[in-house]
Amino acid sequence: MSSSTMAVTARLLLLLLSALAHVSASTLNVHVVPHTHDDVGWLKTVDQYYKGLRNDIQNCRVELILDTVVRELSLDANKTFVYVEMAFFTMWWRDQSDATKQLVKQLVQNKQLAFANGGYCMHDEAAPDYVAMLDQTAVGHRFLRQEFDYTPSVGWQVDPFGHSHTQATLLTRGVGFDAWYFGREDYGDLLRRKLAQELEFGWFRGQPSTEQDPGLAGLMESGNYGPPPGFDWDPTRSASDFIQDDPWLEDYNLDGVVDDFVAKAHAIATLYRGKSDATCRLCGTCGGDDANQPPRWCTRLPDSAPATKTHASNVMIKMGSDFNYANAYGYFKEMDKLIHHVNERYGDQVNVFYSTPDRYTAARHAESLTWPCLGSDKPNDLFPYEHRGNSYWTGYFTSRPALKFYVYEMQRLMYSARILEVATRATMSWNVQKLNAGLPTARLALALGLVQHHDGVSGTEKQHVADDYARQLAKGYDGTMAFVAEHVPQLHGTVPSALKFAPCAFANASICTASESLRGGADTKRVVALYFNADTTERKEYVRVPVAETAGLVVRELDANYQPKGDPIESQVVPLNDAQRRFRARYLYSATSGKASAATTTNGAVAQLVFAISVQPRSTAAYSIEIDKMATTNARARPSTVFSTSAVMNQRVAVRPTALGEDLRAPGRSSKEQHSSGTAVVLESGVPAAVSTQDGDVPFKVSIALYNSSSGNAPFVDDSDNQWPIGRAGSTLPVPGLDQYPGPNSGAYIFRPNSSDPVRLHPSSTNAVVTAGPIVSEVYMSFDATLSATLRVYPDSDEVEVNYHVGPLMEEGSADAKFAGSEPSITYDTAGAVKSEGRMITDSNGYRAMPRERGTKPGYEPISEPAAGNYYPITAFASIASDTTALGVAVDRPCGAASLTDGAVEVMVHRRLQFDDSLGVGEALAEDECLPEEAGGDLVCRGLMVSGTHRVVLGSADGMPAAMRAAQRHNRHPPVALFAADTGSLDSEKASTSSTSSLAAHSERAEPAVPPLAYVASVELLEAPVVLRKRSSGGQIHALVRVSHMFGPGEDATHMTPVSVDLSNAVGYGQVTDMVEVTLSGNQALAEYDAKKLVWDTSCHSSSSGGDRQAIRHDDKGTEVELHPGDIRAFEVTIEVSDNIEALR
């Protein structure tokens, strides 16, 4: 046995001994776990929560929680506490003296202060991408390892609103957890699991390397994370009476409190499987004669419990809730009394002691049980969440779509910037407590870590908090983009001094100061557009640049000296449509800081210039746009009405006006259809009506499902986070199917339309316009004054790009003007041609493909809301398929998706509501934007406007998984675009020597450096090694690298082969000279974790093999690592910087 293995074994033994020190084999062991749940933003901002500001909203102050908890722990070695959110803890740590820091380190070493989850926040499980989930977890885990040599062993996702397969797999065993505990489970499934003693179970992991080794998932019996009713003793809440144990005083209540606690502990124990019969034995309910008098607490047990007489020997009682322990002395004082008196009176029947989740986990493992399994036959998750009848938490999948998009845009920028940090060998130190120092991406990394919170990117916070998240992202963007704008031009080659590159942040609103400055009579002679591709595959795509000039525009590719090379490339001018002009007008003065010049208002963008770019992996490409009056190839395209038999088409896809190319003036409309004009000629089948693919014609129409939110008239019963009693009889949990709670309003969390049959909007033929050209053909469709979509087809593409513009919702004169809330979804319908039979595939946080089935929830009762109950979260795609044909939709941000009828997929794109759903936010989700609409003008507040893009694929069922993964990758890694206006310097400032971009030279190779089946999920430069423990020399850097297979097990029959990737190629720059495989959060060597982890006896097995199979071994060779379908692996590497990269410094 090696010394390292012996050390790990010793640590594991020490942990088990510590965990079992208080455990008794003959009594019920009650683990009292003091904790606080500290949202890093919800009703107040993260800073307001920390400092105790705006207590008129919520009375809490996190810094006092940590101050007083540390004091209490230091006074009594028996006391314990578990903390979760490292965003707050690192704030507090920064302010502490060296003496206090040393005290805290001792408390951690004593296992009094424990950390569960240990991420920067407790992330949401519906909206984040899996890389973002891992990144924010890594921020916290790295801090804990560096400051305390601490590696969390337990997950603690107690508040997210539903739970994903990705969380149960990558964010448990993947980050070094033995178990993870969660609340908020569907009320029907919660009741079923109680009665079946299945609140704790194994969750099929799905990564081949550890397929037979799921972690333990533990569902909290109350469905939430607070103490049992009657034991909420936080002085700031005063939710329960304190213990009065002085018989000389009035209102003595000790006997009742003690008996009630013991009864509740035993009642909880009966809901968890085990081998103990203590409850029925003590209370005389096991059967047979029992001469003993049952203890008094037995009379307080619920009337009914699970049929089995055996139960757990260990139970966990959560003592804490939102922002508890600001006065830790008061809370601990009551717990001290409780523990003392219970053990004094019933010490032979129950053993109560302070504990932590990891101690409880070790004790449960020691019971040597066989655990049930979730997802043993196929990937499974716990969406959607319904906490009572007719109350599906599916609205938040889409809430605050602009914030969701902003978060994902910043993640895309982060990926590129981190590649650049390695490429340019950034060497500034990074410290998580010093936000203004460190790596260029440090502040953006922390802002992104913060907003992954389950009341952040989820869209379930108050408006001022959402604004604060956006503010923090903007500050992170500023530093990151300044770094990118400085270094990308240098990576391309020799930069003329006159070129000052900057991004066009408002390009999606057709605003770009640099490109709009190119027009007749202006000083700008040309505009240089520069693109950086951080991905490991070549990027070929069509870009759109706002332009004020429409005639004679010429595009040329530029060499490393920013000089033209070769002939002009083909391009096309496409006029702005009505929706684009409306968006541009709304955001113009915001984009120009309220100082838009006459040139940008009267002579600004009227069109978009479209041309193709090709950027090699980890490389750059530059193009010049200039006016050549002699050129005629880019004359302004002439739009035409859609009343023709022409098709929007390329060599692969044709979007045709009708299935047979007939006249579009088909009459008729259903009673549910509304249009922008009551006299408009209506297309019964919608516009367009068919898509022709290489696999044949498929009927196809696009419409808007406009849901009117519930109005607040339905009977409403307030919710309780901790419902009690438990069991069959007298349960406060409504029995599934009884519909005894008609339900709340639609709100930030809940989607509840007043009808499952929405108003269906089709585009009117008078408002549909076709624009055709050599680069792009498109049809613009207006559904309503504030709802439109443009369908585009580009050469050599199997996709139909759908660009939509939505909002402001509920404007006067619009179809939803009188709605109680407007929740529009875009529906893509094949009129039943794709016989999907109620099935749909969605992604799980961008990681695995999840099977869904309309009208049912896995393992329990049918749904109670036909629309809301069939919505699922997507971050990348949703698809449906028959045996031969499939329809897929790839999205650019998190949202909700459903297939409510066979052959159709609908994606919700916006929400604006007049009522709150009474689940805590306290304000309606009615986002306004207050912007100037003229130079120096006052702010004008109107409803939020949203623009986005879907990539729609109609094709063979066999090819759909690959098409969706390709579209996901396309959306995840767009090239970074920078622009510079040139007044003539390129004509006069010729570079004296020729140079070649080191990035371009690096990527010029016969075969791809990283195979297409492999995906480099992230490359992050490290200030110092975390696991290798060897600091870099002058020519070395360290990085955390994650690589994955593009497909999950069984996802695509043609792509199920293993693939190998060299980590040097994955990094892209320099040579990897040392490496160690680590957990996905990078806080420990994987071999170290494997040696100490707890192995659970479950029935989980692989669906792909039809039964149990051994974990797959990886055939790694040096720096070349093997990836199987479903794999994501992480490595800490040392990189020897190569000469060509050194030259970049």
**Percent of all residues in the chain with a pLDDT value above 70, rounded to a whole number:** 79
Nearest to 305 by CA among 721, 730, 722: 730
- Tell me the per-residue pLDDT of 244-277, one tens digit each, with 9 for 90 and over: 999 999 999 999 999 999 999 999 999 999 988 8
CB 81 within 8 A of CB 34: yes
What was the pLDDT predicted at 1105?
34
CB 882 within 8 A of CB 892: no
> Dihedral of CA 821/826/831/833: which sign?
negative
Q: Whole-angstrom Cα distance, residue 777 to residue 760?
A: 26
- Tell me the per-residue pLDDT of 935-956, one tens digit each, with 9 for 90 and over: 777 888 899 999 999 999 998 9
What was the pLDDT predicted at 953?
94
Checking if the pLDDT of 857 tops 80, the result is: no
> Lowest mean pLDDT: which of 301-305, 397-401, 516-520, 706-710?
301-305
State residue 693 phi and psi, 5-degree precision: -125, 180
Checking if the pLDDT of 868 tops 90, the result is: yes
> Dihedral of CA 144/148/149/151: which sign?
negative
What domains, with CATH codes, occur in the chain? 504-637+974-998 (2.60.40.1180), 640-715+731-970 (2.70.98.30), 1010-1142 (2.60.40.1360)
CB under 8 Å to 844, separation ≥6 — which residues? 164, 165, 166, 379, 381, 850
CB 141 within 8 A of CB 1083: yes
What was the pLDDT predicted at 8?
46
Given the DSSP bridges, would you call strands 885-891 and 946-956 parallel, antiparallel or unpaired? antiparallel
> Lowest mean pLDDT: which of 38-42, 499-503, 557-561, 753-757?
753-757
For the chain, give the mean pLDDT.
Answer: 83
Q: Whole-angstrom Cα distance, residue 284 to residue 171?
A: 43
State residue 36 phi and psi, 5-degree precision: -130, 150
690-697: average pLDDT: 61
Q: How confident is the model at residue 192 (pLDDT cuts 50, 70, 90)?
A: confident
- 177 vs 654, residue with greater confidence: 177
Q: Whole-angstrom Cα distance, residue 1124 to residue 28?
A: 44
Q: How many CB atoms sit inside 10 A of residue 471's CB? A: 12
- End-to-end Cα distance, the chain: 46
Q: Whole-angstrom Cα distance, residue 715 to residue 717?
A: 7
What was the pLDDT predicted at 725?
26
Checking if the pLDDT of 660 tops 80, the result is: no
Extract the tokens encoding 952. Answer: 């729609």
Nearest to 297 by CA among 351, 339, 255: 255
Q: Is 782 helix (H, G, I), strand (E, B) or coil?
A: strand
What was the pLDDT predicted at 1137?
76
Extract the tokens encoding 254. Answer: 């000790």
State residue 614 phi and psi, 5-degree precision: -135, 120
Checking if the pLDDT of 207 tops 80, the result is: no
Give the amino acid at 490.
Q
- Tell me the per-residue pLDDT of 118-175, one tens digit each, with 9 for 90 and over: 999 999 999 999 999 999 999 999 999 999 999 999 999 999 999 999 998 898 889 9
| Backbone torsion region of residue 650, taken as left when φ is above 0, otherwise alpha when ψ lies between -120 and 50, otherwise beta | beta
Extract the tokens encoding 508. Answer: 């999606």
CB under 8 Å to 859, separation ≥6 — which residues? 189, 192, 374
Checking if the pLDDT of 571 tops 60, the result is: yes
- Tell me the per-residue pLDDT of 577-604, one tens digit each, with 9 for 90 and over: 999 999 999 888 776 555 544 445 556 8
What was the pLDDT predicted at 775?
92
Extract the tokens encoding 476. Answer: 């992170």
What was the pLDDT predicted at 766?
65
Q: Whole-angstrom Cα distance, residue 320 to residue 231?
A: 9
- Tell me the per-residue pLDDT of 332-346, one tens digit each, with 9 for 90 and over: 999 999 999 999 999
Nearest to 162 by CA among 123, 193, 107: 123
188-195: average pLDDT: 88
Checking if the pLDDT of 1093 tops 80, the result is: yes
State residue 998 phi and psi, 5-degree precision: -65, -30
What was the pLDDT predicted at 1111?
55
Q: How many CB atoms sit inside 10 A of residue 303's CB? A: 10
Extract the tokens encoding 682. Answer: 């209506």
790-817: average pLDDT: 90
| Backbone torsion region of residue 936, taken as left when φ is above 0, otherwise alpha when ψ lies between -120 and 50, otherwise beta | left
Checking if the pLDDT of 726 tops 70, the result is: no
Q: Whole-angstrom Cα distance, residue 330 to residue 68?
A: 10
Give CA angle at 187 (182, 193), nearest 5°. 70
- 98 vs 1117, residue with greater confidence: 98
CB 184 within 8 A of CB 165: no
Q: How confident is the model at residue 649 (pLDDT cuts 50, 70, 90)?
A: low
What was the pLDDT predicted at 358?
96
Checking if the pLDDT of 996 tops 70, the result is: no
How far lies 706's CA from each of 323, 699, 760, 906, in Å?
Answer: 39, 22, 6, 11
What was the pLDDT predicted at 674?
31
Q: How many CB atoms sit inside 10 A of residue 763's CB? A: 29
Q: How confident is the model at residue 740 (pLDDT cuts 50, 70, 90)?
A: very low
How far lies 90's CA from each of 37, 432, 1044, in Å?
Answer: 16, 7, 31
Q: Whole-angstrom Cα distance, residue 260 to residue 267?
A: 10
Given the DSSP bridges, would you call strands 564-569 and 640-641 parallel, antiparallel or unpaired? unpaired
> Lowest mean pLDDT: which of 48-62, 298-312, 883-897?
298-312
364-385: average pLDDT: 83
Checking if the pLDDT of 428 tops 70, the result is: no
Q: How confident is the model at residue 1008 (pLDDT cuts 50, 70, 90)?
A: low
Q: Whole-angstrom Cα distance, residue 982 to residue 205?
A: 55
Extract the tokens encoding 933. Answer: 């609409």
759-782: average pLDDT: 85
Extract the tokens encoding 1070. Answer: 């320099």
- 785 vs 835, residue with greater confidence: 835
What was the pLDDT predicted at 1006?
38
**Percent of all residues in the chain with a pLDDT value above 90, rounded to a whole number:** 59
Q: Order across the sheet with 1128-1136: list the strands.
A: 1014-1022, 1036-1045, 1128-1136, 1071-1078
What was the pLDDT predicted at 22?
67
Considering the entire predicted model, what is its pTM? 0.91
